């Protein structure tokens, strides 16, 4: 069944099937899931402690390499599988104040409350809707033919590489939404309050990684400083890669605001599906990507625990085959190549294409995730 042949009844049945999957997962959450997230947190903390201890012996090259690798892995786990997913409320059902979306603050410079608004609400509600979802190119890149071309995009292959290295800082500044100030939609006072919160996190990260731990290392000051810098750079590049591979490869569709009238829950599901792409891989890739390698499942169910995505992915794929809907997935190499090919191609002027399909978030889903 081709996608264009789906009737409204088909779409709503597709939505009901997804609702059933969601309800089954929620009903089965329990001790095994709680052990999973607590186990990941324990591993992350051991990696961080071990990495920092090894860096103190970094006059030995193997110790520097091992320490930097362990610290980078710890930062990736904290950012991707723990922080991102905790802040989505995936573990709120445990009622553990230490692993709750209202109390967690992660080890990146974006304050949790600012990120939850721009990502959890805006992006996950208006996924890939031009004029609504600011994550389409992050207001910096042209990643879809629907975006009007500007000469500044000629440089996007270069500044995209720079963005990868400072990704956490780019996202923090992006979350400020400074473009809303001239229109009066945001006051300068509110922006300054948010900027101070970002500056506070930047200061804490610099103090911890680039001053306190290097000073504690004494004569190993410079190697520890370099190790911490490398770990943060590695985390930024990895996060950039995984996020871009989930949103911008060939196959990810874009929608327009004028196509959003009267969207139902089923149509919202279809839009989430068609605006997301998966990355094929093994358990280690899924873990280190925060299970955002299952970007499709994450966008369908952003507040379900990430350890369940691999379990339900075959059912989602089968459901898509049954209804003739695309399920875009590929290896990390393939998806990364697709993203960079698109960024290079769309740096040049080209005809704008109008999306053929779109939907609007159903009212009962706008607060999800």
Rounded distance between C-alpha atoms, residue 103 and residue 16, angstroms: 33
Give the separation between CA 169 and CA 188, rounded to whole angstroms.
20
> H helices of the chain, where?
8-28, 31-56, 61-77, 85-87, 112-115, 124-125, 156-165, 167-174, 188-207, 213-216, 221-247, 265-274, 283-288, 295-300, 309-323, 332-346
How many distinct structural domains can be found in the chain? 1
Q: Is residue 315 part of a domain?
A: yes
The answer to whether position 169 is within a domain reads yes
Q: Does residue 137 fall inside a structural domain?
A: yes
pLDDT tens figures, 326-360: 999 999 999 999 999 999 999 999 866 554 443 33
pLDDT band at 262; cut points 50, 70, 90? confident
- Please write the tens of the pLDDT for every residue from 8-49: 999 999 999 999 999 999 999 999 999 999 999 999 999 999
Give the confidence band of 368 by pLDDT, cuts at 50, 70, 90. very low
Does some domain include residue 223? yes
Domain assignment present for 179: yes
Query: Is residue 123 helix, strand or coil?
Result: helix
The pLDDT tens digits of the residues spanning 276-312 come to: 999 999 999 999 999 999 999 999 999 999 999 999 9
Q: Is residue 93 part of a domain?
A: no
pLDDT of residue 5: 65
| The pLDDT value given to residue 174 | 87
Full residue range of the structural domain in which residue 145 is found? 3-29+110-365
pLDDT digits (tens, 9 = 90+) for 181-205: 888 888 989 999 999 999 999 999 9
Once rounded to an integer, what is the mean pLDDT over residues 69-84? 98
Residue 89 counted as domain residue: no
d(CA 21, CA 15): 10
- Residue partners of 304: CB distance under 8 A and separation at least 6: 22, 25, 26, 90, 297
According to the model, what pLDDT value does residue 161 have? Answer: 96
Q: Pick from 274, 294, 296: which is nearest to 286 by CA?
A: 294
145-190 pLDDT, tens digit per residue, is 989 999 999 999 999 999 999 999 999 998 888 888 888 888 989 9
Q: Distance between terminal CA atoms of the chain?
A: 31
């Amino acid at each position: 069944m081709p996608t264009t042949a789906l009737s409204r009844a088909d779409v709503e049945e597709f939505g009901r099937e997804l609702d059933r999957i969601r309800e089954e997962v929620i009903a089965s959450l329990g001790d095994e899931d709680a052990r999973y997230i607590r186990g990941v947190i324990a591993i992350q903390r051991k990696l961080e402690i071990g990495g920092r201890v090894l860096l103190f012996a970094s006059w030995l090259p193997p110790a520097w390499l091992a320490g930097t690798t362990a610290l980078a892995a710890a930062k990736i786990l904290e950012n991707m599988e723990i922080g991102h997913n905790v802040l989505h409320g995936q573990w709120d059902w445990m009622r553990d104040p230490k692993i709750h979306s209202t109390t967690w603050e992660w080890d990146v410079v974006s304050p949790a409350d600012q990120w939850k608004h721009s990502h959890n609400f805006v992006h996950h509600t208006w996924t890939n809707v031009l004029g609504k979802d600011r994550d389409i190119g992050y207001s910096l890149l042209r990643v879809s033919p629907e975006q009007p071309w500007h000469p500044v995009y000629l440089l996007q292959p270069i500044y995209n590489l720079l963005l990868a290295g400072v990704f956490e800082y780019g996202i923090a500044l992006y979350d400020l939404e400074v473009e809303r100030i001239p229109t009066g939609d945001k006051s300068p006072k509110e922006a300054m309050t948010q900027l101070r919160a970002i500056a506070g996190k930047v200061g804490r990260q610099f103090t911890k990684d680039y001053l306190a731990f290097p000073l504690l290392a004494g004569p190993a000051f410079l190697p520890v400083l370099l190790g911490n810098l490398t770990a943060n750079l590695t985390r930024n590049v990895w996060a950039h890669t995984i996020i871009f591979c989930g949103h911008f490869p060939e196959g990810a569709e874009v929608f327009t605001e004028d196509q959003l009238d009267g969207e139902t829950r089923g149509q919202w599901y279809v839009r989430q599906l068609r605006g997301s792409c998966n990355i094929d891989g093994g358990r280690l890739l899924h873990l280190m990507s925060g299970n955002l390698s299952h970007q499709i499942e994450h966008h369908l169910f952003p507040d379900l625990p990430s350890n369940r995505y691999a379990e339900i992915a075959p059912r989602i794929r089968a459901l898509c085959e049954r209804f003739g809907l695309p399920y875009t997935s590929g290896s990390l190499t393939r998806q990364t190549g697709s993203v960079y090919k698109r960024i290079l191609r769309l740096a040049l002027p080209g005809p704008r294409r109008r999306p053929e399909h779109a939907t609007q978030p159903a009212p009962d889903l706008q607060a999800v995730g």
